[in-house]
């Protein structure tokens, strides 16, 4: 999610996707069996202000990097499974 927490776009997307949220409205990530920064919906990843209170910009950049690694890992895993099924 590139938008700051609470934007209209974010609420519309997350509201229809069944992404688990904390009482604070932040996206819940890192559940058992999930990749780093992966939300309850397997196709959603979040970081920065979406998962914690407003924090340092550096932390948000780090989260973005971790999200990228997790998405890459998921894509590679999916591709390997698809090749194995052929």
- Compute the distance between CA of residue 65 and CA of residue 43 in angstroms, rounded to an integer: 17
| pTM value > 0.85 | no
pLDDT tens-digit map of 38-68:
888 888 888 888 887 776 788 888 888 998 9
The Cβ of residue 69 has, within 10 Å, a number of other Cβ atoms equal to 13
Q: Minimal CA–CA distance to 14: which of 34, 35, 40?
A: 40
Confidence of residue 72 (pLDDT cuts 50, 70, 90): very high
3: which DSSP letter?
A: S
- Residue 21 has what DSSP assignment? B
CA distances from 86 to 24, 32, 79, 82, 83 (A): 45, 30, 11, 7, 5
């Amino acid at each position: 999610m590139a938008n700051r927490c609470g934007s209209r776009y974010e609420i519309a997307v997350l509201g229809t996707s069944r992404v688990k949220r904390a009482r604070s409205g932040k996206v819940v990530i890192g559940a058992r069996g999930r990749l780093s920064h992966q939300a309850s919906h397997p196709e959603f990843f979040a970081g920065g202000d979406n998962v914690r209170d407003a924090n340092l910009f550096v932390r948000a950049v780090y989260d973005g990097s971790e999200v990228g690694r997790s998405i890459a890992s998921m894509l590679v895993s999916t591709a390997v499974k698809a090749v194995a099924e052929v």
